[in-house]
C-alpha cells in the first residue's frame, strides 16, 4: 500500500470518488476513512458502480470486506486500486545472449599503469572449437488481459532474434533456445545476422594501432607490414607479406615473412615451427624448426631446435644457436664483432640444466652446513644421548641430500645423452669465413684466426672443433694446416 493510496491525516478528508483507470484494468477509489462506517462506504460505492459498466456485479458485503482490507482505521484511500482485471502477460521477444565480449569496442585497460592500452582492443574475437558463442532465446507469446468491463486487452506479437550459423559455426535447437557453438578454432565475425568463425584471419593492410594487437586461434595472413610495438599471438601459421618492425610475436606453427624482420631488446619472437624471412636485424628469435633466411642475420640472438639455413647470405654479429647444425654462405664480416655460432646445442637443455644447477648448488650448501654441524658436535669430545640423536638425525638428512644430488646428476646425464643423440654439431660455411668468428660444437670451441675465401666445414675431429676444407676447389696443403689448428 503506497502513500498516495492510503494515508493517515488529520486534515479535511478527500472527496469521495470512483473511476476506472485509463486501461480499464483497475477500479480506483478515493474514500475518506472507510472504517468509520464500512457498510455506509460500501453502499455508496455500490451506487457509483453501475455507470462504469463492470462485467461482474459486486455485492455490498464484498465491497465492505475489500475496503476493510485496504487500509487501517484513520486512513483515507486515495486512488486506491480496489479491483483489478486480468492483467495481460507481455510477450518475450527473442534475444541473442553473447557469451563473451566478442565485439566490444574501445581499448583494454592497462591496470598496472592505470591507462588505456591503445594496442589492445577490448574485443575478444579469438575463439576455440566447441566454445559456446551465443544463446538465442526463442520468442514466447504473451497472454491477453481482460478489463473490468470484460473486454480483451491485446498483446503484441513477440519479435524474433535472428542469428544464422555460417561457416565454422554449429547451431543446436533446444526447447526454448538455440545454442550456437564454434565448430572450429578461429576468429568470430558477425555480419548481416550471420555469425561465422574463420580459421584464417586476413588483415588487409598493416597491423598497427588501427587494427590493434592480434589474438587468433587459427592462421593469420597480414597483407601489409607489422608496425613497431604490435603484438601477435596466433596458434596457427602466420604469413606476413611485408616487413616486421620491432614487435612481439608468438606463433604456434610456422612464421613466414615476405620482407625482413627488425627487432630490439624489448621485443622477442617465439615460433613453434619454422621461420622464413629475407633478413633478421637485431632480432631476438626462438624457434622449434628450421630458420631459413635469404639475405642476412645481423647482430641477432637466434635459437632453434632445427637448422639455420642462410646458404647465400651472411651471419654477422650476435649469437646463433642451431641444434641441427648450420649451412651459411658467409660467416662474419669486416665490421662485425662477437659473432658466435653454436651447433648441436639444445637451448631447452641449457635452460633446464641452468635451473638444475641452481638447485644442486642449494642442496650442496645445505649438505655442507649439516656436515659442519656434525663436525662441530664431534669436536666437543664426549657427548650425551641427546647429542647422539641429533647427529643421527643430521646424518639421515645428509643421506637424503646425497640421494637427491645423485638423482639430479643422473637426470642431467640422461638429458645430455638424449640431446647428443639428435644433435648435429657441424657448421658448413659455403662461401667465405672471416676472422674472429667463434664456433661452438657442443662444448668444444674454435675461433677463426684468419679469413677464408673458400668453403669451410667446422666439425668435430677427435672431440675437438676443427675448421676443415670443404669441396674440390681447395689447394694442396691447406688441409694439414687446418686440421692442426688448435681448438680454443
pLDDT at 257 over 80: yes
Verify that 217 and 295 share a domain, yes or no.
yes
End position of a domain, from candidates 325, 348, 371: 348
> Which of 365, 385, 419 is a domain's end point?
419
* C-alpha–C-alpha distance, residues 391 and 389, integer Å: 5
Q: Are residues 365 and 455 in the same domain?
A: no
> b/e string for 283-307 if b means 16 or more Cβ within 10 A?
bbbbbbbbbbbebbbbbbbbbbbbb
Cβ-defined contacts of 381-385 (< 8 Å, 24+): none
C-alpha cell recorded at residue 49: 458502480
- Mean model confidence pLDDT for the chain: 87
**Closest Cα partner for 4 from 81, 74, 69, 73?**
81
Quote the pLDDT of residue 487.
38
Q: Does the pLDDT of residue 479 top 70, yes or no?
A: no
* Structural domain boundaries enclosing 76: 6-84
Q: Is the pLDDT of residue 478 over 80?
A: no
Q: 344 and 266, same structural domain?
A: yes
User: How much is the pLDDT for 400?
Assistant: 84
In a domain, 90, yes or no: no
pLDDT of residue 381: 66
Q: Are residues 148 and 273 in the same domain?
A: no
Q: Is residue 16 located within the same domain as residue 117?
A: no
State the DSSP H helix or E strand holding residue 341, giving kind and residue range, or none if neither: strand 340-343
Q: For residue 180, is it within any domain?
A: yes
Determine, yes or no, domain membership for 173: yes
Do both 19 and 80 map to the same domain?
Answer: yes
Asked if residue 387 has pLDDT above 80, the reply is no
My answer on whether 326 and 209 are in the same domain is yes
CB-CB contact of 273 with 285 (8 Å): no
Last residue of a domain, one of 54, 84, 114: 84
Whether residue 488 lies inside any domain: the answer is: no
The answer to whether residue 264 sits within a structural domain is yes
pLDDT in tens, 440-457: 998 899 999 999 999 999
Q: Is 353 helix (H, G, I), strand (E, B) or coil?
A: helix
Within a domain: 263: yes
Mean pLDDT of 359-387: 75
List the grid coordinates of 133. Answer: 558463442
Least confident of 22-36, 124-138, 231-245, 371-385: 371-385
All 3 cell numbers of residue 13?
478528508
CB 139 within 8 A of CB 91: yes
Residue 298 falls inside a structural domain: yes
Same domain, 292 and 183: no
Separation between Cα atoms, residue 194 and residue 177, nearest integer Å: 17
Spatial neighbors of 221 by CB under 8 A, at least 6 apart, are 200, 201, 202, 203, 239, 241
Residue in this structure with the C-alpha cell 524474433, named with its chain if needed:
160
**111 and 175 together in one domain:** yes
Task: Please tell me whether residues 403 and 446 are part of one structural domain.
Answer: no
Quote the number of domains for the chain.
Answer: 5
Q: Please indicate, yes or no, whether residues 408 and 447 belong to a single structural domain of this protein.
A: no
Cβ pair 269, 252 in contact under 8 A = no
Distance of CA 117 to the CA centre of its chain: 16
Contacts of 486 (CB under 8 A, 6+ apart): none
The pLDDT assigned to 481 comes to 40
Model confidence pLDDT, tens digit, residues 142-173: 999 999 999 999 999 999 999 999 999 999 99
Residues 29 and 118 in one domain: no
- Residue 319: what pLDDT? 96
Q: pTM score, two decimals?
A: 0.64
Amino acid at each position: 500500500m503506497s502513500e498516495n493510496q492510503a494515508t493517515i491525516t488529520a486534515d479535511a478528508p478527500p472527496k469521495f470518488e470512483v473511476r476506472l483507470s485509463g486501461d480499464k484494468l483497475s477500479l480506483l477509489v478515493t474514500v475518506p476513512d472507510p472504517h468509520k462506517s464500512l457498510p455506509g462506504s460500501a453502499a455508496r460505492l455500490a451506487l457509483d458502480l453501475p455507470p462504469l459498466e463492470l462485467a461482474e456485479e459486486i455485492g455490498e458485503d464484498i465491497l465492505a470486506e475489500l475496503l476493510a482490507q485496504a487500509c487501517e482505521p484513520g486512513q483515507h484511500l486515495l486512488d486506491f486500486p480496489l479491483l483489478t482485471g486480468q492483467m495481460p502477460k507481455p510477450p518475450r521477444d527473442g534475444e541473442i545472449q553473447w557469451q563473451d565480449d566478442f565485439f566490444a569496442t574501445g581499448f583494454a585497460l592497462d591496470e598496472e599503469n592505470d591507462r588505456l592500452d591503445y594496442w589492445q582492443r577490448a574485443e575478444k574475437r579469438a575463439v576455440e572449437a566447441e566454445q559456446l558463442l551465443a544463446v538465442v532465446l526463442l520468442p514466447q507469446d504473451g497472454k491477453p488481459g481482460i478489463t473490468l468491463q470484460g473486454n480483451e486487452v491485446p498483446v503484441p506479437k513477440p519479435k524474433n532474434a535472428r542469428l544464422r550459423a555460417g561457416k565454422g559455426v554449429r547451431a543446436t535447437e533446444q526447447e526454448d533456445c538455440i545454442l550456437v557453438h564454434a565448430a572450429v578454432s578461429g576468429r568470430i565475425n558477425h555480419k548481416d545476422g550471420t555469425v561465422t568463425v574463420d580459421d584464417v584471419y586476413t588483415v588487409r593492410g598493416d597491423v598497427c594501432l588501427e587494427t590493434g594487437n592480434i589474438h587468433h586461434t587459427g592462421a593469420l595472413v597480414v597483407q601489409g607490414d607489422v608496425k613497431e610495438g604490435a603484438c601477435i599471438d596466433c596458434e596457427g601459421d602466420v604469413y606476413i607479406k611485408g616487413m616486421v618492425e620491432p614487435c612481439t610475436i608468438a606463433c604456434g606453427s610456422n612464421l613466414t615473412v615476405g620482407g625482413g624482420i627488425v627487432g630490439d631488446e624489448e621485443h622477442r619472437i617465439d615460433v613453434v615451427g619454422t621461420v622464413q624471412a629475407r633478413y633478421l636485424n637485431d632480432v631476438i628469435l626462438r624457434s622449434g624448426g628450421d630458420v631459413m633466411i635469404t639475405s642476412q642475420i645481423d647482430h641477432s640472438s637466434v635459437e632453434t631446435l632445427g637448422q639455420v639455413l642462410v646458404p647465400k647470405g651472411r651471419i654477422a654479429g650476435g649469437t646463433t644457436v642451431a641444434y641441427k647444425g648450420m649451412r651459411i654462405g658467409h660467416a662474419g664480416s669486416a665490421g662485425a664483432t662477437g659473432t658466435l655460432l653454436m651447433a648441436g646445442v639444445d637451448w631447452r637443455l641449457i635452460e633446464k640444466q641452468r635451473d638444475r644447477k641452481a638447485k644442486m648448488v642449494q642442496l650442496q650448501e645445505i649438505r655442507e652446513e649439516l656436515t659442519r654441524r656434525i663436525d662441530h658436535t664431534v669436536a666437543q669430545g664426549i657427548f650425551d644421548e641427546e647429542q647422539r640423536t641429533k647427529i643421527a638425525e643430521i646424518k639421515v638428512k645428509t643421506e637424503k641430500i646425497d640421494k637427491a644430488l645423485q638423482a639430479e646428476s643422473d637426470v642431467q646425464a640422461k638429458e645430455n645423452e638424449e640431446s647428443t643423440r639428435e644433435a648435429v654439431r657441424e657448421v658448413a660455411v659455403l662461401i667465405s669465413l672471416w676472422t674472429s668468428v667463434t664456433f661452438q660444437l657442443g662444448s668444444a670451441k674454435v675461433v677463426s684466426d684468419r679469413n677464408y675465401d673458400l668453403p669451410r666445414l667446422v666439425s668435430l675431429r677427435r672431440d675437438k672443433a676443427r675448421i676443415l676444407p670443404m669441396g674440390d676447389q681447395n689447394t694442396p696443403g691447406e688441409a694439414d694446416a687446418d686440421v692442426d689448428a688448435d681448438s680454443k
